[in-house]
Structure 1
Amino acid sequence: MIRRASAVLAILFFINFLNYTDRFVLSAVLHLLKTDLHLTPEDEGWLATAFTLGYMFSSPIIANFADRWTRPRIVALCCLVWSLATLACGLAIGFKTLLFARVLIGVGEAGFLTVGPPLIADAFSKESRGKALSVFYTGVPIGCACGFVLGGLLPGLHLSETLAIGWRGTFFTVAIPGIAIAAVAWVLVDPPRGAQDTELGIHAPLPKQGTIWEQLALFRNRTFGFVTLALTGIAFATVPLLHWLPQFFGNVKHIAPSKANVMIGLTLILPGILGTLLGGWAGDRISKRGIPGGYLMVAAVGLVGGLVCLWVAILSPRPWIFLPALFFGVMFFMSCTPTLNTTIANISAPNARAMAYATVIFCMHAFGDTVSPLLFGKLIANHGLERAFLFMPVALLVSAAACIAGIFTIRGDLARTEERVTQLVRKTHVPRTR
């Protein structure tokens, strides 16, 4: 059994990396799928929406089990599900089979991202939680980049003079590691819930599942509402932008598809890693100075800075301007990922964290990227790709405003959460003699 917190973090990071590789490889090979499976622009939108529907509706269900069962085994099963579904994408014979596989990928990934962050939060202290989650979330840019790079390079490689890997072989290639790592995740040790959130430590872990009142307390938490709104706006804007980014590079910037995918991958990976790590580090530093809204401050700056850089990248016709602007835009945006997710962990009771993340996931997708790809497809049809790219990021202004509002409410919400946790521990455990 694997017990060390650093080893648990390393394994969950790698699974998160595979998670985003499998998710975004479809965007990189979409131009090939359109030809072979005769997909329409509306079909493309439905592929993104199908993933989101599976992701959205399964997360609360899996969260309910996550607060009852051994979490690493849920991680292992979810990893296996989405890896097999990615394999099924390579076997798709038409739009409907591909659509069904995308739904299953959403189900598997939702389970992992509902369970993974709370598991890390219980393995690390509050002082190091931001850094730990920032390491975990570096899997996002690395995975996205690898999805685009592998999707751009693998289809053109030949196994022999007459046999190319193609888009089907690309799906097979990215699916296999997930099947293997699922076996490793099965033997992780589940840390006690709340061990890092009370002075009683591991000698007084919380019950596995929070009561209905503890879960309903989330909806009375104003900061939780603001963070949920911020992440919903981010999902609304960024998911369709990433999905259509290869086509934007090709149709607007006039870059060949294979070259565009590699450029996107390289533009995502380094600034994504830097932004994620710097965001977690900056949030920890500010919070240690007694400023509980430190993580939200970093997120607000990241959203505004990223939005300005993104608009510069979209409007500039010169590569020496739009590529650096995209670089810094990604860095700013990725600083929001660890900061907002650390805030969720800190303001929710430890035995209700899985439900907290599931609630955020549901809202992000119900009101965010379930509808935005379809809206984006209609914007492209009516106004063109460049104008659609200019319009969608406006939602990020709402996200920035929500982060700023949360700065003024988080101190009271943190105090109330800590008081509830302390009362629950003292009610169910006798403190050890010191």
Structure 2
Amino acid sequence: MTGCLPPRQTHGLEETILHVHHVDDSARGGAGATRTPVRAYAWVVFALTLGLLISDYMSRQVLNAVFPLLKAAWGLSDTRLGSLSSVVAMMVGVLTFPLSVLADRWGRVRSIALMATLWSLATLGCALATNYDEMLTARALVGIGEAAYGSVGIALVLSIFPACLRSTLTAAFMAGGSFGSVLGMAFGGMVAAQFGWRWSFGAMAGFGVLLVLVFSVVVSEKRLSTGQPSGVQAVRGTPAMRASFRMLMKELFSCRSVKCAYVGSGLQLLVPGAMYAWLPSYLNRYYAMAPGKAAVCAAGFVLATGVGMICCGIATDLVSKTVPKRKWLVAVTYCLLCFVALSIAFRLPVGTVQFALIGAGMFFSAGACGPSGAMVANLTPASMHSSAFATLTLANNFLGLAPAAILTGFIADRTGLLGALQIIPFATFIAALVFLLGKRSYADDLQRLEAQRVRAAD
């Protein structure tokens, strides 16, 4: 994308709500536009915020590495195993929006520190659980702690970087979930093999507490306020955040294209959500791998997802540099590539070819996250980005991550795990259709929203 130009100064509630990056940045300015330099402190904040997201997903996904051990220890069905994973995403889906709105008012830095402390202590509670009910309660508390972190964390990052990096930063930040899943599954599986599954949860909790302490020392609202890039105004405490609920909903669901971005992003994440939860069990059952080895091997596929998210995000920014609508086409392409690869893979016999196709499918399985995040950011006010990304997170969880594990487990109890994994990839095909629908109105929606901003400014 080209230059990041400062928006006009406006005054009043309506102006503040409407004022912000409605127009895709690739459409503003020419090749000679000036890029805003990024301070080193911004990258430090990004690294720490990303580190906490990694801790978030380590705490969330370590459970999947010990599925076979819990199944044997407590005699759980696949549906109950899946519920231990899905309850986290369900709590995230229920609470992400209200907690994100509160974070905008209370302060993002303090909110992040509190959330990370809660999920770390709840993960320690998982280590101490003695039965299914106690584990389910502890996992629910993990979800409460993690509920708003994704939306608040990315909003904090975007507030100190120029807008021309949105697809790349969004993809890189969200890829932290994949890297955290890799570490949680691989490291958790190795620890469980040596010391038992309880120590796996304990190790994740300790890592989270350590990162919270470092984040609290290094990051502060005061230092962040001095790191705003040129043309980006501070968002905490602005009148927009005190807007009525009706006005908030109007801005978050202002047009068809942003609704399609929410829904398409959520549907495409059902596939990686299911794979994260069940690949260790699939490798254990169909490849006869020991639980520890299966977890490490599955982590390799999850790593492919994280690398794919970053590569796809960078590719999206490059491809849509001069033609904003291409974001939608690349999102459609990523979804279809995932659908084709995984649909073929799980209809082949176990072996090298199946492994390769699963890896290819996982590479593209979350590729649309970067384009989706950029489209949501372009179509909503910057002063409401925590709320906008909370809405995106809600869609990601309710339509994708929350039902993924338990739905797959439910189908697996009736058709076998292989049969379930043959059905799940169809979610990405539906996501592709939704993105195509959003593409049809994207340019018109951007122009209409910019016209509203100009009228409000006048």
Pair 1:177 & 2:211 matched: no
CA contact (8 A) 2:334 2:365 kept: yes
| Equivalence for 2:150 | 113
C-alpha separation in 2, matches of 1:244 and 1:139: 20
Superposed counterparts of 1:375-390, under 5 Å: 375-390=407-422
Corresponding position: 1:30 with 2:98: no
User: How do 1:223-234 residues align onto structure 2 when only pairs under 5 Å count?
Assistant: 223-234=257-268
* In structure 2, C-alpha distance between the alignment counterparts of 1:52 and 1:360, rounded to whole Å: 13
Q: CA deviation at 1:60?
A: 1.5
| Residue matched to 2:307 | 274
Letter in 1 for 2:262: T
1:350 to 371, 382, 392: 382
Could you say which structure has the greater relative contact order, defined with CA pairs below 8 angstroms and 6 or more residues apart?
2
Question: Who is 2:219 aligned against?
Answer: 188
Q: Which residue of 1 aligns with 2:356?
A: 324
- Could you say if the C-alpha distance between residues 175 and 230 of structure 1 is closer, same or farther in structure 2, counting changes exceeding 3 Å? same
Q: Deviations over 1:365-418 (max 9, x none)?
A: 334444444432232122111111111111111111111222222223333444
Q: Which runs of 5+ in 1 are unaligned?
A: 158-164, 428-434
Answer whether contact 1:122 1:193 (CA < 8 A) is retained: no
Return the offset for 1:304.
0.6
**Offset at 1:267?**
2.8
1:130 aligns with 2:167: yes
Counterpart CA distance in 1 for 2:101 and 2:235 is: 22
Name the counterpart of 2:334. 302
**Alignment partners' CA distance in 2, 1:265 and 1:275:** 14
Q: Retained in 2: the 8 A contact 1:193–1:207?
A: no
Kept after mapping to 2: 8 A contact 1:249/1:260: yes
Quote the Cα distance in structure 1 between the aligned partners of 2:395 and 2:169. 25
Residue type at the aligned position of 1:136? F
Q: 1:338 to 1:194 in 2, by over 3 A?
A: farther
Distance 1:7 1:421, change over 3 A: farther
Alignment RMSD: 2.6
- What SS does the corresponding residue of 1:345 show, helix, strand or coil? helix
Over 3 Å counting, the alpha-carbon distance change for 1:416 and 1:63 in structure 2 is: farther
| Larger displacement relative to structure 2 (29-38 or 17-26) | 29-38
Q: Residues 194-229 of structure 1: CA distance to partner in whole angstroms, max 9, x if unpaired?
A: 966xx8544899546162314422223211110111
Superposition map of 1:22-171 within 5 A: 22-157=59-194, 165-171=195-201
Q: Does 1:313 align with 2:350?
A: no
CA distance in 1, matches of 2:167, 2:362: 19
Aligned residues: 414
Q: CA deviation at 1:422?
A: 5.9
Q: Are the equivalent residues in 2 in contact too, given 1:133–1:338 (CA < 8 A)?
A: yes
Contact preservation (8 Å) 1:250, 1:260: yes
* Selected match of 1:413 from 432, 439, 445: 445
Taking the TM superposition and a 5 Å limit, the aligned residue runs for 1:258-273 are: 258-269=292-303, 271-273=304-306
For the 8 Å contact 1:252–1:385, the answer to whether it is kept is no
| More displaced 10-residue stretch of structure 1: 318-327 or 221-230 | 318-327
Distance 2:327 2:372 in 1: 7
Matched with 2:370 is 338
Is 1:393 matched with 2:415? no
**Residue 15, structure 1, aligned to residue 52, structure 2:** yes
Q: Which residue in the other structure is 1:244 paired with?
A: 278
What is the one-letter code of the residue matched to 1:244?
Answer: W
**Pick from 381, 391, 407: which aligns with 1:359?**
391
Query: How many Å separate the matches in 2 of 1:420 and 1:17?
Result: 39
Counterparts in 2 of 1:90 and 1:201: CA distance versus 1, 3 Å:
closer
Q: Is the 8 A contact 1:214 1:349 kept in 2?
A: no
Deviations 1:168-200 (A, max 9, x none): 01110111111121123334244569966xx85
On the 8 A contact 1:210/1:352 being kept in 2, the answer is: no
**CA distance in structure 1 between the aligned counterparts of 2:78 and 2:234, rounded to whole angstroms:** 56
Alpha-carbon contact 1:52-1:106 (below 8 Å) kept? yes
**How many angstroms apart in 2 are the aligned matches of 1:302 and 1:3?**
33
**8 Å contact 2:79–2:413 — kept in the other structure?**
no
Gaps of at least 5 residues in structure 2 are 1-38
Contact 2:309 2:363 (8 Å CA) reproduced = yes
Are the counterparts in 1 of residues 159 and 232 from structure 2 also a CA contact under 8 Å? Answer: no
1:288 partner SS:
coil
Question: Equivalents in 1 of 2:160, 2:437: separation in Å?
Answer: 30
**In structure 1, the residue corresponding to 2:349 is in which secondary structure?**
coil
Aligned mates of 1:402, 1:139 — CA distance in 2: 25
Change (3 A) 1:38 1:390: same
- What's the TM-score, normalizing by structure 2? 0.83
Whether contact under 8 Å (2:64, 2:85) holds in the other structure is no
Is the 1:195–1:204 contact (alpha carbons within 8 Å) kept by the matching residues of 2?
Answer: no
TM-score, normalised via structure 1 length? 0.88
Shift of 1:45: 2.6
Taking the aligned partners of 1:204 and 1:118, their CA distance within structure 2 comes to 10
C-alpha displacement at 1:250, in angstroms? 1.9
Alignment check: 8 A CA contact 1:287 1:295 kept: yes
Distance 1:83 1:324 in 2: 35
CA contact (8 A) 1:293 1:411 kept: yes
User: Which amino acid in the other structure matches residue 260 of structure 1?
Assistant: A
Q: Distance in 2 between matches of 1:356 and 1:26?
A: 29
